[in-house]
A and B are shown apart, each in its own frame.
Chain A
Amino acid sequence: MSMVLQIVVCGSIVPDPLQTLEPVTTPAGPGLKNEMMLPAVLDPWASHALYEAANLAKQNPGSKVWLVSLGPKAKLQQVMMTVAQKVPFELIAVDGPAGGFTEASQTAAALAEAIQAIPGLDKSRLLVFGGWESASRGAGVTMQMVGELLGIQDQFQGVDEIKLQPDGSFEVMERVEGGRHQISSCAGAPALLGWATGNLPEPKNNPQVGMLNMRTVGPALQKAKPFKPAATDVTFVSVSLPKQVRETRIIKDKTADEIARELVEWIKQ
């Protein structure tokens, strides 16, 4: 017996990790140099959450996946050209800044509002997914706040696996210290899961899925609700790149035995 789920994935966009990033001061606070010009990708851990959501929905016929994504509309459109080819979902776009210096509580409020506005949302079937940290703010706080705003008390972070049972309950595997996983069982939806890498590889591009998704992506972008962060209490005293460059001593002319002896001595110090 399968369970019909409503899976909402929160996933924003971040600069392509291979880009050089440089902080700059803007009238709205810190930002990135040429931020709007930087190629963007769906946040890596949120991507894993999306793939896991799609897999879960596939295993439970009748289930549906929404991707709630907050970012500048133009950048979202660019990123969706790729993401939409991966797995089936319906996009809910929120048009606003996706940078790491945006206040997490405001982002959480915008995401929670967008989720609550989903027509036909049934909390008894609701699983809220997201990455356990973003690659921008990297704080790992937003999802918990979204959960609180939605009144969800069963929350899990650093999730690598979910196993749904026929009765709607599920088992979750979360990362904890020392390379271990904590296993918990939950009575069922509603629940919130902040994903780590999970177990699924990145799906290959599927043009048919892309065509289906793009039917809703365009309209979703058009009706994206604007999000303008309000003034916050935070003051950025400084934002800087690490300046330390090490003077690397390059050793080319030693034998393996000599290097090994030097390393063992260093390790033992």
Chain B
Amino acid sequence: MDQILFLAHTQENGLLPASALEALTAALALKSASGASELVVGLVGASVQAAADQVAGCGAARFLGVAGAEFSVARYATDAMAAEAICKASAASIVVAPGSSRWHRVLPGVAQRLGGVADTHLTGLNPSGAGGALTVARWYYRQRMEAVIQRQRRPWFLLIDPGSQLAYVGAVGTATVELLPVQPGAAQLRTAFKGYRELSSGVQTIRPEAKLLFVAGAGWTKKQADGQPHVKEAETLILSFLQTSRASLGSSKSLVDLGGEGQAVLSFLTHLNQIGQTGSTPRHPKGLSTCCHGEEPHAVGWRFINERRAINLDANCGWARGKADVLYVADAFAVMNRVNELLAAK
């Protein structure tokens, strides 16, 4: 029988991020389905008591923690030490963790260190899958095919893709945390955290929690009906929309790459906005694409968007036909200008 460890790190305020609460939902479902398995909560951070209290009512048999200033920020060497210590102390055979950038950086290495295996970007867990055993689902070839797999090897690290599960909601309480003595040495402290850098433009355009993903395609920078490009106008329309709608901005690769080709670009776009084959595949309830073109694989960028609408001058565009729920054949400049007016008036 598997021993389940829910392994999370705190965020800057000492609490668990939403992605961790989603992973806890998956861990609890696994525990519930596997009957007598025990759930252990493992936490890493500057201080882990607030996070433990946050999930005190989850039914965990033990709360293990590694805390201290060295563990307040993401750093491979110290995070690996902490995760390794918790995994060993819990004797976990299944480790469920959020697929955050911090854990994604380190847990595959910890799995290697412990002789285990890690699967990432998991979008589904079925505790009673084929043969009654645990199966997990993940995508291959950049979200172009989905596989369901089982494994015999343990410990098995399962990194859950943020946005794929409902977040755990439970009563806050007081948890008793067993703090493990983990002391990094000089070899683990060669890397020092210096800080975070916002986008160089100073414009916040990526909002993982947004209800809407706005996808801008290369058409925004092309010549319009008057024979001229209107890049500045496009920038104003898009930024205004992002400000009033609080949407997150994605872009096609071609639009991001225009800068490298010396063409006019939207100044606030970076490779971080890029979705698709060599970009991200964000999860949002709704998506609105504008001026996007191309067939698969370019359209994989909105694989995980539930409701999809598109504005495009080409009614036969492969980006939208068969992939969007609604395609408006119209001039995006005119439509978005009016959308902004309506949103501003509300």
Interface of A toward B, CB cutoff 8 Å:
14-15, 17-18, 20-21, 23, 30, 44-45, 100-101, 104-105, 108, 135-142, 144-145, 147-149, 153-158, 160, 171, 173-188, 196-197, 201-202, 233-242, 245-252, 254, 256-257, 259-261, 263-264, 266-268
Contact = CB atoms under 8 A, between A and B. Distances in A.
Q: Residue among B193, B278, B322, B334 with the most chain A CB within 10 A?
A: B278
19 contacts: A45-B278, A147-B109, A181-B196, A184-B193, A187-B191, A188-B190, A237-B129, A239-B146, A246-B324, A248-B322, A250-B315, A250-B329, A251-B327, A259-B335, A260-B335, A260-B338, A261-B338, A266-B307, A267-B286
Nearest to B311: A259
A236 B109 contact: no
Contact of A246 (B117, B197, B325, B341): B325
B298 to A, nearest CB: 9
A139 B161 CA distance: 11
B147 A30 contact: yes
B212 A156 contact: no
B112 A108 contact: yes
B205 interface: yes
Contacts of B337: 256
A23 to B, nearest CB: 5
B271 A160 contact: yes
Contact of A183 (B118, B196, B245): B196
Closest 9 CB pairs of A and B: A179-B206, A141-B108, A260-B338, A144-B109, A256-B334, A201-B260, A233-B152, A187-B190, A155-B76
A238 B139 CA distance: 11
Contacts of A158: 101, 105
A174 B151 CA distance: 31
A240 B146 contact: yes
B197 A183 contact: yes
B168 interface: no
B192 A234 contact: no
Contact of B141 (A138, A246, A249, A250): A138
A254 B319 CA distance: 21
Interface in B301-346: 303, 307-309, 311, 315, 320-331, 334-339, 341-343, 346
Contacts of A155: 76-77, 105-106, 109
B121 interface: yes
B191 A154 contact: yes
Interface string B289-300: 000000011000
Contact of A157 (B101, B152, B195, B296): B101
B135 A249 contact: no
Contact of A181 (B197, B339, B343): B197
A250 B337 CA distance: 21
Contacts, number: 259
B100 interface: yes
Contacts of A183: 193-197
Nearest to B276: A17
Q: Residue among A101, A240, A241, A263 with the most chain B CB within 10 A?
A: A263
B221 to A, nearest CB: 17
Given A155-B105, A256-B331, A139 B121 contact: yes
Nearest to A188: B190
B72 interface: no
Nearest to A190: B190
B140 A101 contact: yes
A251 B323 contact: no
Given A154-B77, A234-B151, A260-B338, A182 B326 contact: no
A79 B206 CA distance: 35
A248 B326 contact: yes
A236 B147 contact: yes
B335 A256 contact: yes
Contacts of B320: 248
Contact of B112 (A23, A148, A157, A176): A148
A114 B144 CA distance: 30
A116 B155 CA distance: 27
